[in-house]
Structure 1
């Protein structure tokens, strides 16, 4: 599978065909002014689904936050000290 590289102008002109190629698994790289590149990647519904375990952990963190059971670090040094103690 070859990487398809196009400019942003070419992408605008050939959007539909570039999306179709990405949908088929081709790697499409869009160059912008020769300085920055972007990869066109399909995102599927299941990419946004959280596992029940992750949802539970997130809710536990929210509960701890609501109850004030958090550690606040106001400086970089405080944060480093906290992280090193973990």
Structure 2
């Protein structure tokens, strides 16, 4: 199985394709600039990442979203405004 390498820009443009590749077991490496890279890896409920504490945090976040306590970002301007307000 080959390693699929992409840039962060290409990843943003074709996220679904790269997620599908990772779901099928392909090794996807995303380069960010010249010095940093990331591996796209599917996570399942059986992974250690999903501790009871993490599951509770996710459930709390889902509840906050239902209650409208979230920020919706639909455009670059929304994102810029969000970061400007931090």
With the length of structure 2 as denominator, give the TM-score of the two structures. 0.55
CA positional deviation for 1:21: 0.2
Which segments of 5 or more consecutive residues in structure 1 lack a partner in the other structure? 51-86
SS at match of 1:38: strand
Between structure 1 and structure 2, the one with the greater Rg is 1
The answer to which structure has the higher helix fraction is 1
Aligned residues: 50
Which segments of 5 or more consecutive residues in structure 2 lack a partner in the other structure? 52-86
Counterparts of residues 46-65 of structure 1 (less than 5 Å): 46-48=46-48
SS at match of 2:12: helix
CA distance in 1, matches of 2:34, 2:19: 21
Cα RMSD, aligned residues only? 1.3
Give 4+ residue runs of structure 1 displaced > 4 Å after superposition.
none
